[in-house]
Structure 1
Amino acid sequence: MPLTPEEPQIHESVPGPRSSAGSTRNPQTPRPVPAPGPRPAPPRPAPPGGGPAARTRPSPGRPGVPRPPAPAAAPPPPVPGAGAGARVQLVPATDSTAVETADETVDRLLDSGRAPGDILVLTTAEQHPWALHELSFGEDAYWKQLDEGGDVFYAHATAERAARRAVVVLAVNGGTDEQAAAALPAAMARAAEELHVCGDPQRLRALAGEVPAPA
């Protein structure tokens, strides 16, 4: 039926000619895939425990941005009953946190300028994880590190071979009262300048009254 002049014509809104059903479409050019590069090597695991190689230092601030000074921490109270000689400080901890507290004490000593070879860490119950790690290579290699004196050394409080050092950190991480009481004078005898005792304050104060002053 022919259209009258008044009737508008309706056109399809698809631009350009419609392709026939049998026509082929040009395939799209595939996007280039970058060749796989070398994958970064996984980080090396740190030795177990909180020993020297396991400890990390905080990264310095960005250049040009001054870092605010850290607030000075109040020194822990001295162990009552300690006599003249090495300065004895009590660092509160439980049996389960004594080793971790001892590691934090070592970090503070190193940050204050103490040389690693100045520090001896003793435990009253289970050996420090770093001592267990080093002992796995044999006792000769373990004690050789003590003789070399170049790093923090970890031993049991009953180890007679543990030599005297400027600073001793004693972790009371378990054991009987008799074992802890015997560990205190043993640690004092090895501390030339400072002794830091990490343990239960009430228990240590009770035991410290029976501990003789270091010679």
Structure 2
Amino acid sequence: MPLIPEEPQIPESAQGPRANASTPRPVPGPRSAATPRPGHPVPGPAKPAPPAPRPQPTSDRPRTDRPENRSAPQLQLIPASADGALDAADEALDLLLDSGRAPGDVLVLTTGEQHPWATHELSFGEAAYWAHHEAGDDVFFAGAASVDRVGTRPVVIVAVNGDDAVADVLTGARERAGALLIVCGDPQRVDAVLGAGV
């Protein structure tokens, strides 16, 4: 087809940068879905800060495993359903670790089904599981059946993800929390166990 004078031909060298761009821009891909080991968080989007700490009510019950001069730990309540309690506990743990808290300072307890990390650690046997607890250099995860066996740590996080052992786990958690007790669960249930004003 012959060129019409009103339609001049544009040489290839004058077509601009799009004609010369032979390399496409990199496009970010999906992030890994692997769960990070506690104490080694994967960077991701910023998470909301947990609610402000609430003072814990005092108890008249004698405490045999606490020094007399130790004050009660601060209590933070993160409202969550039983189905969402483990996720809320994991987010609280990530926030603590991101803020500089040492992994060995944290104990995570569940009132129902075991946390997946407890199940993973128990797959290596009871002796290895409890040796991990005694080492005290990483986050330790335990279920309701182990509450009486775990030691005191500066921070205890409880996921209220089951009905059977709520009172035992919350009471044991309060006794084992050195500075901070974080409870992820239904506020009415937590209030019924730990007292008014929670």
TM-score of the superposition, structure 2-length normalised?
0.68
Larger Rg: 1
State the one-letter code of the partner of 1:78.
Answer: R
Asked if 2 retains the 8 angstrom alpha-carbon contact of 1:82 and 1:88, the reply is: no
Identify the residue that residue 134 of structure 1 maps to in structure 2.
121
Distance of 2:83 and 2:47 partners within structure 1: 27
Deviations 1:73-99 (A, max 9, x none): 462463764555111111111100101
Find out whether 1:111 has 2:98 as its counterpart: yes
Residue 172 of structure 2 corresponds to residue 172 of structure 1: no
Q: Quick check: 199-208 or 90-99, which moved more?
A: 199-208
Residue identity matched to 2:74: R
The answer to which structure has the higher helix fraction is 2
1:75 corresponds to which of 30, 35, 51: 51
Return the alpha-carbon distance in structure 1 between the equivalents of residues 102 and 162 of structure 2: 28
SS at match of 1:100: helix
**2:178 matched to 1:202?**
no
CA contact (8 A) 1:122 1:170 kept: yes
Between the aligned partners of 1:197 and 1:174, the Cα distance in structure 2 is 13
Spell out the pairing of 1:51-200 with structure 2 (5 A cutoff): 51-52=37-38, 55-58=41-44, 73=49, 75-76=51-52, 78=54, 81=57, 84-159=71-146, 160-176=148-164, 179-200=165-186
The one-letter code matched in structure 1 to 2:177 is A
Query: Shift in Å at residue 127 of structure 1?
Result: 0.6
**Contact 1:167/1:195 (<8 A) preserved:** yes
Does the 8 A contact of 2:108 with 2:141 survive in 1?
yes
Cα shift at 1:207: 2.5
Counterpart residue number, 2:15: none
What is the TM-score with the length of structure 1 in the denominator? 0.63
Instruction: Name the % identity.
Output: 49
CA distance in 2, matches of 1:71, 1:106: 11
Give, in angstroms, the shift of residue 54 of structure 1: 8.0
Count of residue pairs brought into register by the alignment: 154
